[in-house]
Each structure stands twice: as C-alpha cells, then as structure tokens.
C-alpha cells in the first residue's frame, strides 16, 4: 500500500516519518524543501503534483493549516481529485470546517474514491511518538481501509460517524482546551496577585480534582514563559474557535465561554502574538490584573 502525504509542518513531518518508519512506500509534497528532504533521506519519493500523488497512491493524507488550503489541494487546478481513482482513499487530518469535509467527501465519492476527515489531538509530542487521539468521520468501509495507517499515527482512534463528524468532534476538543487554558490563566493571575508561588500552586492543584492535561502541559508552558516557542500557534486555535462559533450559530447552540476565550485571543493577536503559543492569552490576564504592564 503506497501512501501520499501532503503537508510536512510541525505535525505533518513527524507523522509522515512514522509512516515511512513503519515500512510503507511514501510519496510526499511540501513547499518547505528542507522538510521534504528529511523524508526523501528516509527513502520517500517527492512529487510537486497533487494529482500525481493521487494517481500513485492508495491512501493520500493531508495535514494543512486551514479549510481553504485543503480545498485548494483537493479541488484546485491539478488537485487530488484530478488524479482520484477507485482504489484511492483520501484522509484529511487537518482541522477544518465540517462543511469542508462534507463537500470534499461528496466530490471524491462522485469521482469514484472515498474520504475520511480525521483530525487529531495530542500536539507535536503525540505526533512524534505516534500517540495521537484521532477523531474520524466517514463511511465504515473507508474507516476500515484507513485504520491500519491511522494505527501507525495514533493510539486512540474513534469512528465518530459520517463525513464531517470527525471535524465536529475536533471543534469540541478545541473548545475544551481553549476554555481550560483561560481557566488556568485566571487561576494563575489570582494566585500571582495574592503573592503565591505559582509553581507550588500548580503542584497543589495537580493533586486534586482540578488536575487536567491542560494544567499539566499548558500550565507548565505558562510558568516557563516560553510563549515564543509555540506548540500550537494562537492564530490557529483562534481559527478553530471561529469555526466552532459558526457551528454553534448554525445549530442554535450558545457558546458563551468559547466566545469569551475567542475575544481574549483577539486581544492577544492585536498585540502581535498571532504566531506565539496559544497560552499567550495569559499575558492579557496579567495585564488586566496589573501584574505586568
């Protein structure tokens, strides 16, 4: 089974490397020649044509920043759909709007192929170790075909339902992470203003019901003040929350806390922090509390 992989960024590169190390023939594409070279050094083939990758592959995976990037790669000139064939499965592991996944699934099925939306959670570390959580939308036959590859990339793989359901689940994931980061920021700001040692505060909270992965991982990042070394860029999380808020409007679901966190992110981005880690919203909380200028 030959695998095509498009998008060798912070997440895509280690994911593609894991596929190659698992012994699968791999054909890759990325605008970053240095990232692509890491794969070709491992024996992967390079192609600058999306349709060529589709024609040569049994499974094509994309890991791209936004919905419009995925649409361009799949549906644009010389895109994946131009090389689609009956044995090809497309798996989009990007975080995009559910309606984008539904649209692409419909077009690829009409072209004789099939598709899955399979966004992930677990960050760069999970991508490196192959321990991602993967939320999958698409048909049962497509899921069964893609499962062996998904097992190379993740340890928790759940078929959520039809096309778009994986992306909707990822939006729920992004809502929870965003709100949890805001909660950690508020708790840390209160503790700091009261003169407490934040390292001790974090340790104490991690020993009780308030403990979470966000407090453990993102709380540590806040304490290290490593905002300029993003595990996940603020602008990308803000993009996801915009998609979540749109989904909430369409389904008549009030998302009050999500809207608040989105505004905190807007404030941080207005200060020039779009490329920083999403934990940088801590700085807004500290400024409002007059902990920092």
Would the CA dihedral through 158, 160, 163, 169 be positive or negative? negative
Are 83 and 51 a contacting pair, CB within 8 Å?
yes
Instruction: Tell me whether strands 26-29 and 45-46 are parallel, antiparallel or unpaired.
Output: parallel
Cα–Cα distance for residue pair 103/164, rounded to 1 Å: 9
Q: Please count the other Cβ atoms lying within 10 Å of the Cβ belonging to residue 252.
A: 6
**Tokens found for residue 74:** 């799949």
Catalytic residue among 103, 170, 221, 233: 170
- Supply angle C-alpha 84, 86, 90, rounded to 5: 55
Q: What angle separates helix 165-193 from helix 198-205, to the nearest 10 degrees?
A: 130
Q: What separation, in Å, do the N-terminal and C-terminal C-alpha atoms of the chain show?
A: 56
Find the radius of gyration of the CA atoms of the chain.
20
SS3 annotation, 230-283: CCCEHHHHHHHHHHHHHHHHHHCCCCHHHHHHHHHHHHHHHCCCCCCEHHHHHH
CA 117 from centre of chain? 12
Annotated active-site residue 170? The verdict is yes
Residues catalogued as catalytic? 170
């Amino acid at each position: 089974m030959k695998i095509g992989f498009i998008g060798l960024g912070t997440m895509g590169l280690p994911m593609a490397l894991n596929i190659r190390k698992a012994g699968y023939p791999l054909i890759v594409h990325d605008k970053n020649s240095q990232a692509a070279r890491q794969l070709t050094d491992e024996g992967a083939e390079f192609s600058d044509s999306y349709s060529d990758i589709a024609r040569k592959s049994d499974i094509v995976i994309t890991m791209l920043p936004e919905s419009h990037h995925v649409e361009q790669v799949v549906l644009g000139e010389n895109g994946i759909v131009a090389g689609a064939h009956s044995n090809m499965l497309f798996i989009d592991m990007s975080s995009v709007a559910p309606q984008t996944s539904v649209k692409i699934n419909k077009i690829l099925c009409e072209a004789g192929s099939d598709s899955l939306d399979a966004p992930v959670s677990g960050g760069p570390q999970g991508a490196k170790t192959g321990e991602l959580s993967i939320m999958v939308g698409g048909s049962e036959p497509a899921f069964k075909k893609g499962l062996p590859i998904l097992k190379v990339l993740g340890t928790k793989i759940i078929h959520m339902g039809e096309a778009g359901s994986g992306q909707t689940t990822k939006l729920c994931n992004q809502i929870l992470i965003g709100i949890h980061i805001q909660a950690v920021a508020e708790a840390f700001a209160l503790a700091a203003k009261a003169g407490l040692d934040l390292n001790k505060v974090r340790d104490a909270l991690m020993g009780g019901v308030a403990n979470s992965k966000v407090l453990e991982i993102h709380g540590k990042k806040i304490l290290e003040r490593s905002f300029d070394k993003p595990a996940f860029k603020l602008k990308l999380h803000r993009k996801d929350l915009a998609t979540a808020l749109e989904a909430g409007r369409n389904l008549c679901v009030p998302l009050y806390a999500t809207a608040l966190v989105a505004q905190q992110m807007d404030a941080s981005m207005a200060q020039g922090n779009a490329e920083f880690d999403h934990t940088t919203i801590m700085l807004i909380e500290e400024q409002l509390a007059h902990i920092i200028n």
